[in-house]
Amino acid sequence: MPPGPETTADDTSAPVGEAAPDAPRPPRPSRTVRLGRLARREAPRTGLAVLAGLALALSFPPYDLWPLSVVAVAALALLTRGRTFRQGAWTGFAFGLPFFFVLLRWLRVVGYDAVAGLSVIEALFLAVLGAGLALVSRLPGWPLWGGCLWVAEELARDRLPFGGFPWGRLAFANTASPFTPLAALGGAPLVTFAVALAGGLLAFAPAALAGARVSAAREAGTDAPEAPGTSGPAGRGPGVVRAALPGVEALALAAAVVLAGYAVPVPTKADDTVDVALVQGNVQNPGMDFLGRPMMILDNHVEATLALAKDIKEGRARKPDLVIWPENSSDLDPFRYGQAYARIEEAVKAVGVPVLVGALVDHAGKSGYVDNNGIVWDPRTGPGASYTKQHPVPFGEYVPFRDQLSKVITRLQRVQRDFYPGDHTGVLQIGPARLGDVICFEVAYDEIVRDTVKAGARALVVQTNNATYGRTGQPEQQLAMSRLRAVEHGRAVVTVATSGISAVVAPDGEVLRRSEEFTRDVIEARIPLRDGTTVADRVGAGPEWALAMVGLLSCAAASLIGRRARRDEPKKKGQQ
């Protein structure tokens, strides 16, 4: 076919508006210029992500603004919607860093470098979450897949590295909210999923409305929606109303998810009861040097117990069935120091009932290691059964790679001996009650508490020492975890702290009694003992792994669909 009038066989000129092939290309902007342009382009979105992260921090104790957890999740979903993998990762990191920095400010007693370092590590998990949210936002039903990804992120963060750090789970911001009863069905992971799903549905509504207006504008042959008040496609026409219905339905479904917990029965009926006394002896020096001189903390708890014994003898107090002391209530190993042993014996015999004593004890099988123990001390037979903390805190109770890191971070030398992990659950017979002992941060770990209940604990005891982090918000955050565990397992939970907060939590999560921080106090209460188990106990970690796998598979599906679309795009252009 002969060439047409506009194109000849010898014509090598470039199409109109394009540079000739041999024309000099404009110089490529420098890396600094490109980064500057990128920063300016991403600044508004990054700023909104920071604000959303701060809002999420305010949903946790001591602020307790739980609705902000749903709002923050919705904000992150919108900010990552339709973004690339890298953009989503950056948005997630910008969201996570301020969130964890505010949430973990109680670590400032160690140093703000510890706050910043741990916040960066934890924010990296949210960076991966942000990337995943960006991927699945292209799939139908993306709020559901986003909720599953939140569970997957928490599953990984609860276990990695060095056994994980569960602080900041969405469930722990919702220990006194409409979501809380869901813990009785699927534990903390189900609460997290419900919060994330509600947030995703909340985000879907404005996204659907915006999409409806754009579609209506295209159908009308315009580039933008018509002005408000018109009856055109982008105004209040029936087409827009129909297109906006999915957003309205998403809001209704979000409200249903929020309120679903009210339909979940929380088992609280007692099979038996037991009278307990919780002794909070107090410390003299809050912060890193709370121990003071040797025997000081032990003497405080002995004197408080002797005062209780006197009140019982004189009829001012009812004799309990057992007494509970907190973690580290004996600051010296009673089996090594006779003075400490004698003081504990004095207090236990005076009150006349078994006492659960928290003590640091030299490990019997490995020299140089120490056990963080809860010891049942009987007034007649002395020390008996004990529980050793299974999950020591890395860099607080033991130092990974000690020889290498302690040379670089000299502060780690303050952890003079590593704690040795226990190898069994904390079910102990203390007087007439079979209780499950959980020590300090262990209350944050699902499997430790669940295994203790399944091993036969009829109520839970959390022995803790929060003196280092007093008046920082950390004790309130830990008490919130006790409230969630009570509902999750249908068990009363008593938290006993050296300096507060000591508390009694009913099986429905209600705080019945609590102490003030940095005061000497004795809390007396009658708590229910239960033998029945919840659905969460019976299904274990199954829902968590199932939801996490669905989230990961949704990412894989989104990636494959996106790759196929990019591969087919040149073919479509060729056909056009």
Choose among 156, 107, 160: nearest CA to 400: 160
Separation between Cα atoms, residue 304 and residue 378, nearest integer Å: 18
User: Residue 330 has which token pair?
Assistant: 């004996």
Separation between Cα atoms, residue 29 and residue 8, nearest integer Å: 37
Mean pLDDT of 10-20: 46
Per cent of the chain over pLDDT 70 is 87
For the domain made up of 272-529, give the CATH fold. Answer: Nitrilase/N-carbamoyl-D-aminoacid amidohydrolase (3.60.110)
Alpha helices in 59-172 (DSSP H): 67-80, 85-103, 112-136, 142-157
Write the pLDDT tens digit of every residue in 384-413.
Answer: 999 999 999 998 888 887 877 777 777 777
Write the pLDDT tens digit of every residue in 128-185.
Answer: 999 999 999 999 999 999 999 999 999 999 999 999 999 999 999 999 999 999 999 9
Catalytic residue among 122, 327, 488, 544: 327
Catalytic residue among 148, 153, 389, 524: 389
Q: What share of the chain is helix, strand, coil (3-state, %, to 5)?
A: 50, 15, 35
Catalytic residue among 154, 440, 544, 555: 440
* Full-model pTM: 0.90
> What's the pLDDT at 449?
98
Write the pLDDT tens digit of every residue in 254-304.
Answer: 999 999 999 999 989 999 999 999 999 999 876 666 566 779 999 999 999
Catalytic annotation present for 389: yes
Catalytic annotation present for 148: no
Report phi then psi at 162, rounded to 5: 55, 40
* Mean pLDDT computed over every residue of the chain: 89
- Tell me which range, 201-215, 414-428, 513-527, is most confidently predicted by mean pLDDT: 513-527
Separation between Cα atoms, residue 256 and residue 202, nearest integer Å: 12
Catalytic annotation present for 510: no
Write the pLDDT tens digit of every residue in 42-90.
Answer: 899 999 999 999 999 999 999 999 999 999 999 999 999 999 999 999 9
Report phi then psi at 328, rounded to 5: 60, 20
User: Residue 361 has which token pair?
Assistant: 């004890």
Separation between Cα atoms, residue 121 and residue 161, nearest integer Å: 9
User: Residue 573 has which token pair?
Assistant: 């252009």
Angle between helices 67-80 and 112-136 (to 10 degrees): 60
Q: Is the pLDDT of residue 7 over 60?
A: no
> What's the pLDDT at 1?
42
Write the pLDDT tens digit of every residue in 92-106.
Answer: 999 999 999 999 999
> What's the pLDDT at 230?
41
Beta strands in 454-502 (DSSP E): 459-464, 493-497
